[in-house]
Amino acid sequence: MSTIITPLVPTPQQKSGGSCPSMFDGLCLLSTHAMGAAVLLGACNKTDTYESNVDEAIAVENTTNGMPATGSIDSAFITEAMQGDNAEVPIGQLAQAQGTSQKVKDFGRLLVDDHGSHKEELKTLAATAGIAVTDEPSAEGKTNLEKLKALSGAGFDTQFKAIMIEDHTKDIAKYERQTASSDAQTAALAQKTLPTLRKHLDAAKAL
């Protein structure tokens, strides 16, 4: 005796897109939930991707502009260093004009060249950090410049030597401290500048 299997035939209600018949309620509900979860998951993934792309874009922009992504630059050191250069350059020019010995004149030219170049490096660093560039000399540098302007001959040479030894001894100590700064940019600049300052100190002592 054979068994006749009757296939499931969709009811007219199913064909017309109506609600699921009772025997399929569980399956339809499960399918509906699964589709909803998939839509929500897709939306979350798009949001996460968008936020990640925004964060990456900001990081790239900061790097491109030469600005550190974290931390802050030591603006006080940069400003003081610029003021120091602003004093050394005119003192060097004065040494070339009023110095008696050739060593003093040559050292004056060295000051103008080296401190002029250093000032340009500071200006570049200041621009990336939004720090105002100053052309004012330090108070001590201004005093030394006025003192030297009133001298001439051997008296100028003697006073110039004393001032240069004192100035560069102080500068070396300041730059050595800056090499340990948490600001990596000015620490690196200080490390780079120290050999020049030591060269100047040795030259001043030999005047």
Q: Are 82 and 134 in contact (CB under 8 A)?
A: yes
Kindly report the CATH number assigned to the domain that includes residue 146: 1.20.1260.10
42, 64, 86 — which closes off a domain? Answer: 64
Contact between 106 and 204 (Cβ < 8 Å): no
Q: What is the pLDDT of residue 83?
A: 98
Contact 131, 144 (CB under 8 A): no
pLDDT tens column, 47-78: 454 444 444 444 334 433 443 333 489 999 99
162 and 187 part of one domain: yes
Burial string for 113-144 (b: 16+ CB within 10 Å, else e) reads ebbeebbeebeebbeebebeebeebbeebeeb
**Tokens at residue 10, please?**
């969709």
60 and 35 within one domain: yes
Residue 176's contacts (CB-CB under 8 Å, 6 or more residues apart) are 190, 194
Cβ–Cβ under 8 Å, residues 119 and 141: no
Mean pLDDT, residues 13-22 taken together: 45
pTM of the entire structure?
0.66
Confidence at residue 202, expressed as pLDDT on a 0 to 100 scale: 98
Rounded Cα distance, 84 and 91, in Å: 11
Residue 103 has pLDDT above 90, yes or no: yes
Q: Tell me which residue range forms the domain holding 154.
A: 75-205
> Domain boundary residue among 9, 42, 64?
64
Residues 90 and 177 both lie in one domain: yes
